[in-house]
């Protein structure tokens, strides 16, 4: 009896795995990033290979949030990759990283805000007074994008891509005055869902500020992908379950990178901005994520939280 149950379970898992991967979106564009400069935050080795393997750009700058003090260059196919230190949860680190980019680079064409972590089991606060999950997944990218926006506008056309998640729909309310859960109930999943929602709202408001500049801003949910993401930070029961399910039935890194590659290179979306993508297609968000007034309120609150200075604004 147990053997029969095991066989049925294995068949079910393999079937779901096959169907999910078969129907997943793929980038069919043959466009490349030759001569372009790209920044990908939080890129793992697998994601790096998936992105550069087919899209040979002049330079890819890959800050790997997990690596402390690792700097230097390496070759990945025809691409020169610079690995630089960046901790998106630390605003000082973000400002130092951006300063060096502005000193060293003459252009920037694609910025992929990819670094992230699951929500912490308990609320933790960074040295900047920000909730750790929000700081890592959202605040750091908000600041980094603003600091590099001037360079991107000079290098136009350009594309800004924010990684997010379908978990944004888990959040049914958002208080711009309590983004760090100062007065709101905290849970691991709520924290992660809120970062996903904020990244979508950030892209919506950023797109409106970039109208007419040639620089677009979109958000993308890569799907259920088994990456190093689930091995960062402290493990919760929810993240442990997700890690096992994604390993058995989710996308591999190559397939999971397709939606991001699509937004980075496809000519179909060169003029598309302020949209949310899933499997290389525009998808519907939650009702909260479509509120432009809320997007503006969250932006203004975030400027205060990251202490964005007048000289750091380029919109």
Residues annotated catalytic, as ranges: 192
Which tokens is 55 given? Answer: 């899209």
CB 47 within 8 A of CB 254: no
C-beta atoms surrounding 308 within 10 Å: 17
Which tokens is 175 given? Answer: 């208080």
Helix axes 2-23, 237-249, angle to 10 degrees: 80
Spell 150-187 as b/e; 16+ CB within 10 A means b: bbbbebeebbbbbbbbbbbbbbeebebeebbbeebebb
- The full length of the chain comes to 315
Kindly tell me the burial class for residue 247, based on how many C-beta atoms sit within 10 Å of its own C-beta (0-12, 13-18, 19 or more): exposed
3-state secondary structure of 158: strand
Which tokens is 7 given? Answer: 């066989």
Q: Give the integer Cα–Cα distance in Å for 188 and 122.
A: 7
CB 302 within 8 A of CB 179: yes
DSSP track, 36-100: -EEEETT--HHHHHHHHHH---SEEEEE-TT-SS--EEEEETTEEEEEE---TT-HHHHHHHHHH
Helix axes 258-265, 45-54, angle to 10 degrees: 40
């Amino acid at each position: 009896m147990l053997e029969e149950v095991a066989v049925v379970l294995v068949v079910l898992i393999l079937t779901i795995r096959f169907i999910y991967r078969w129907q997943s979106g793929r980038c069919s564009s043959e466009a490349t990033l030759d001569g372009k400069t790209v920044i990908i935050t939080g890129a793992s080795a697998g994601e790096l290979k998936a992105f550069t393997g087919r899209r040979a750009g002049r330079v890819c700058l890959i800050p790997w949030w997990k690596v402390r003090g690792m700097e230097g260059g390496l070759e990945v196919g025809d691409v020169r990759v610079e690995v630089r230190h960046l901790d998106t949860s630390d605003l000082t680190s973000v400002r130092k990283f951006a300063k060096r980019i502005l000193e060293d680079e003459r252009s920037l064409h694609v910025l992929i805000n990819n670094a992230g972590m699951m929500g912490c089991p308990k609320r933790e606060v960074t040295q900047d007074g920000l909730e750790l999950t929000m700081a890592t997944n959202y605040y750091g990218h908000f600041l980094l994008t603003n600091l590099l926006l001037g360079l991107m506008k000079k290098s136009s056309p350009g594309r800004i891509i924010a990684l997010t998640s379908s978990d944004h729909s888990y959040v049914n309310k958002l208080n711009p005055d309590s983004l760090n859960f100062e007065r709101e109930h905290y849970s691991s999943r709520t924290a992660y869902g809120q970062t996903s929602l904020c990244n979508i709202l950030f892209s919506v408001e950023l797109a409106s500020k970039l109208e007419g500049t040639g620089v677009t801003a979109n958000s993308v949910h890569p799907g259920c992908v088994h990456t190093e993401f689930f091995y960062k930070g402290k493990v919760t029961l929810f993240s442990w379950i997700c890690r096992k399910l994604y390993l058995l039935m989710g996308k591999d890194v190559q397939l999971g990178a397709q939606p991001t590659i699509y937004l980075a290179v496809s000519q179909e979306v060169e003029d598309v901005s302020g949209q949310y993508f899933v499997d290389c297609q525009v998808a519907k968000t939650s009702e909260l994520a479509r509120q432009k007034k809320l997007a503006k309120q969250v932006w203004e609150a975030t400027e205060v939280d990251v202490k964005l200075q007048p000289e750091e604004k380029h919109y």
